[in-house]
Chain A
Amino acid sequence: MMLSLHGHVSLGTFTLNANVEADNEVLGVVGPNGIGKTTMLRVIAGLIALDDGLLVVNGEIYDDAVNGVFVPPHERHVGMVFQDHLLLPFLNTVDNVAFPLRCTGVRKSAARNSARQALEVNGVSHLAELFPDHLSGGQSQRVSLVRALIVRPRMVLLDEPLSALDEQARPEVRRKLRESLVAINGPKIVVSHDRVDIDDLCDRVITL
């Protein structure tokens, strides 16, 4: 297995018990509201540490509560789309998409060029110079997808990746997203309420 998570976390009164395994596949995770789907993604990304248990990704121990191993999020090579997209409000679209590249040490002009290319490929180059507060929900979601995948991450975590898109745009974006996901070697986990999204995007579905 490329990803194996067995463990639990408690946040106040809320407890998540997760047993998830994923290979080089797109894994859909469904389940009722409040069951902890987002929390599970945050554990895998390294934003929450396990209270107990083990998280192994691509043969590397990321979180081992018992032995005190914890790899911080910036060393996990994750491509993630958050529910609220979280584009940095002080950067325009190009610089938002270039941000992950800049973090890996790519120079500004080179990072911007790659970002423009990626926006072009994904059909959103017209948004390049806009700031997040001028993007619609659907637009910022698409930009945030481009941003998450630009560094060729070793795993991909998508939290409701298409929820802000209107019905018309959905099938097309779904198809493109599926293409991009399949091209990435590693576990890809998609959390969604929308059964159609899940069925179209994922190779396998589990219920949390």
Chain B
Amino acid sequence: MTGRSITSRTPRFVVLGAFVGVLYLCLPLFGLLRKVSWSSLFSRLSDGPTLAALRLSLVTSTLATLVAVVLGMPIAWVLARVSFKGRAIVRSLVMLPMVLPPVVGGVALLGAYGRSQGVIGPVLFDVFGIQLTFSPAGVVVAEAFVALPFLVMAVEGGLRGLDPRYEESAAVMGAGDTTRYWRVTLRLLRPSLVAGIAVAWARALGEFGATITFAGNIEGRTKTAPLAVYLLLESDPEAAYALSLVMLVVCVGVLVALRDRWIGNRS
């Protein structure tokens, strides 16, 4: 007899529960795949408006991820490494969009950047001629708003998990604060950053509520793929399923790509 741990003995009801749970998650995927009409897939996707929505989604979600990285990296650093009064409150505020209903996020964004009643919206419009609402830039703002916490969470966790001794030894070798950040910390952080980018991007790609509330639903300008899916479901279900399939494939791709990236940290 090999000594098997008692924790490897699993009660039957847990096995059953897990089975039902996995089924619950997989059945909709099956349902989606069943509804896709494979023969007309490409013609549906190459349809003008559908293609435009897909392209808009890819561009805006990528830009939103970029915004999330630029804003999120410093936030993650401060939350992980600077101790200050009220840090817990700041962290809660940063994480808020993750749990906030996206529609509420969209309303809040209107309150900040809306052209007529927003906090700084009128200034943006009057002084710089920038209108975020009902513009592709507004889509990026809305998507970045909901994606940012995911980036921060991944990177902050990564920073806390780093072995500080590598940065110490780099400092002793003559690496100043800036050099150390770019050549050592960021490099050690790469797996967490890649993971953060992936989930932030996936979240931005799927954004619906904040986008439609803040940026509207203008074909070719602010109608992203999720918005298009929702609206096509009425008028052209086949196109809606085709578009859904594309997003599903992209997201599965992200997960598969991450599986390799998460293991080891050599390039």
Which A residues are closer than 8 A to B by beta carbons? 45-47, 72-78, 80, 82, 84, 86, 88-90, 99-100, 102-104, 131, 147, 151
B168, B176, B267: most-surrounded residue (chain A CB, <10 A): B168
Given A84-B165, A88-B166, A89-B265, answer yes or no on A77-B174 (Cβ-Cβ < 8 Å).
yes
Pair A73/B179 contact, Cβ less than 8 Å: no
Given contacts A76-B172, A78-B172, A90-B188, 4 further A-B contacts (CB under 8 A): A88-B187, A89-B188, A89-B266, A99-B170
Q: Which residues of B contact A (CB under 8 A)?
A: 165-166, 168-177, 179-180, 183-184, 187-188, 190, 265-267
- Measured CA separation A86–B176 after assembly (Å): 18
Q: Is the CB of A74 within 8 A of B166?
A: no
Contact B175 A74 (CB under 8 A): yes
* Distance in angstroms between the alpha carbons of A82 and B265 in the assembled complex: 22
Complex Cα–Cα for A10 and B243 (A): 63
Asked if residues B184 and A151 are in contact (CB atoms below 8 Å), the reply is: no
Q: A103-B179, A131-B266 are in contact. Are A86 and B174 (CB under 8 A)?
A: no
Considering the complex, give the chain A residue whose CB is closest to the CB of B187: A90
- B188 touching A151 by the CB < 8 A rule? no
- Asked whether A100 and B267 contact (CB < 8 A) given A84-B165, A86-B165, A90-B187, the answer is no
Contacts of A99 in B (CB 8 A): 170, 173, 175, 183
Query: Of all chain B residues, which has the CB nearest A96?
Result: B173
**Hey, which chain B residues are within 8 Å of A151, CB to CB?**
173-174
Closest chain A residue to B164, Cβ basis: A47
Most chain A C-beta atoms within 10 Å of own C-beta, residue among B171, B173, B176, B267: B173
- Complex CA–CA separation, A74 to B174 (angstroms): 4
Q: In chain A, what residue has the closest Cβ to B163? A: A86
Q: When the two chains form the complex, which single residue of A88, A103, A131 contacts B174, counting CB atoms closer than 8 Å?
A: A103
- Which of B168, B171, B173, B179 makes the CB contact (< 8 A) with A147? B173
How many Å lie between the Cα of A76 and that of B173 in the bound state? 9
B138: min CB distance to chain A, Å: 39
Is the CB–CB distance between B171 and A88 below 8 Å? no
Residues of chain A lying within 8 A (CB to CB) of residue B180? 74
List the A side residues contacting B183 at CB < 8 Å.
99, 102
Bound-state CA distance A74–B183 (Å) is 14
B171 touches A47 (CB 8 A): yes
Q: Are A104 and B174 touching (Cβ within 8 A)?
A: yes
A99 to B187, CA, bound (A): 14
24 contacts between A and B (CB under 8 A): A46-B172, A47-B172, A72-B176, A73-B171, A73-B172, A74-B171, A74-B176, A74-B177, A75-B176, A76-B172, A78-B172, A80-B169, A80-B172, A82-B169, A86-B169, A88-B169, A88-B184, A89-B188, A89-B265, A90-B267, A99-B173, A99-B175, A100-B173, A103-B176
Chain A nearest CB: distance from B267 CB in Å? Answer: 7
A162 to B175, CA, bound (A): 25
A82–B164 Cα distance when bound, in Å, is 13
| Chain B residues within an 8 Å CB radius of A72 | 171, 176
- Determine the residue in chain A with the shortest Cβ distance to B165: A86
B168 and A88 within 8 A (CB): no
